[in-house]
Structure 1
Amino acid sequence: MSVDVVQLAQDVTPYATTAITAYGAAVLARVESDAADVTVSFGQRILQRLIGRDTPDSETSAEQEALAATVAELAGTPGDADLAAVLRVQVRRLMTAHPDIATDIAGWARPAEPATVTITTSGDRSPAVHNNYGTINTGDSTT
């Protein structure tokens, strides 16, 4: 099976970036849970396969080590567009050097494309949250 590595890297990098943003530096070690977001879990699975964490007994390549370092750096500065671009280039290089990894990932079913969320708030002391599963207390004379 021939894989277009450039397109595949472009397709899977948003999932990896979403996982890095959600879990930070722990993205490669975090255990998946049923409550984990599907997109984040898929991104985590991609990263673990790319970096070789899915097969702990195997040795990692220079490309895998470089990608792991970029993941750690991007985890420290989420939203950095330059680092996200570096991540995409490294994913492409790694999959070019390891076509078996590219073939594996290309065959995986993908969840819906990660969405960018914009949250807007207005007014003094208005909280801005993406998901809230409880009470928000702003400290204003609440009982």
Structure 2
Amino acid sequence: MPDETLDRSSLERLVRALKQARVQRALSVDEISRLVKIRTVHIERLEEGDFSFLPPLYIYSYLKKYAAELGVGDDALLDACRNELGVSASNFSILPPAQVVTESPRESASEPRGKTRRWPVVAAVAAALILAVLIFLLFFSGIF
């Protein structure tokens, strides 16, 4: 029996691996869509092997981001997919690399942010000073 991977294109192999990895992790299309920030309908079309709904550069970017999130594929397979889509390496270098999120938004929100947390204190002090000056002026102007 001939090797099944030889009969398939790189895109077909990657898409099949992506879908298998998603199913093995018990992730729905909606869940993976939220994780990789790609519309659900686009994930569905990618998994169906439909690459005609967006320009090839976007398709490749979506596939690369999806693969990075699930830990699927290697550089050689992704390069082969890029070549099949007709995306040159120079065109793709303008896009930022896909990043895998390793923490939940709740974890990052609980971490201190440094100086950005000081603005409420500064605003409260400034408001108190303005109020004190207004009361002082009203008191000595005879209105109070």
TM category (shorter chain) comes to 0.3 to 0.5
> Relative to total residues, which structure has the larger helix share, 1 or 2?
2
Q: Which has the higher contact order (CA 8 A, sep 6+)?
A: 1
TM-score normalised by L of structure 2: 0.32
TM-score normalised by L of structure 1: 0.32
